Amino acid sequence: MPRAQPGVLVETDASIHAIIVRIDTEHRNKFILENIDDENLLIHRDNYEELKQLLHDRLKHAVREAEESSDSD
């Protein structure tokens, strides 16, 4: 019998979607319940805050690298 799992529907653009999928893969599919399409994901409710923090850290790191790269030009 199917079992329902509580989740959070996340709507995002394709680039952020790709980062979330990569984070999920790196953490052995801990976060995504359902990859609905290129802009929508269903995330485990219990792991949502952790995923938000990991995404925040990943984006902050990417911005820092981009700023350092542009400063050296």
Q: What is the pLDDT of residue 73?
A: 59
pTM, 2 dp: 0.85
Task: Let me know: does 42 contact 7? Beta carbons within 8 Å.
Answer: yes
38: how many CB neighbours lie within 10 A of its CB? 11
Q: Where are the domains of the chain?
A: 7-71
pLDDT at 72 > cutoff 80: no
Q: For the segment 20-36, what is each residue's pLDDT rounded down to a tens digit?
A: 999 999 999 999 999 99
The conformation of residue 29, written as its DSSP 8-state character, comes to: S
Q: What is the pLDDT of residue 60?
A: 94
Q: Of 7-11, 48-52, 61-65, which gets the smallest average pLDDT?
A: 61-65
Helix (H, G, I), strand (E, B) or coil at 35: strand
What's the rounded Cα separation, in Å, for the pair 39 and 32?
13
For domain 7-71, give the CATH superfamily. TFB5-like (3.30.70.1220)
What's the rounded Cα separation, in Å, for the pair 56 and 62?
10
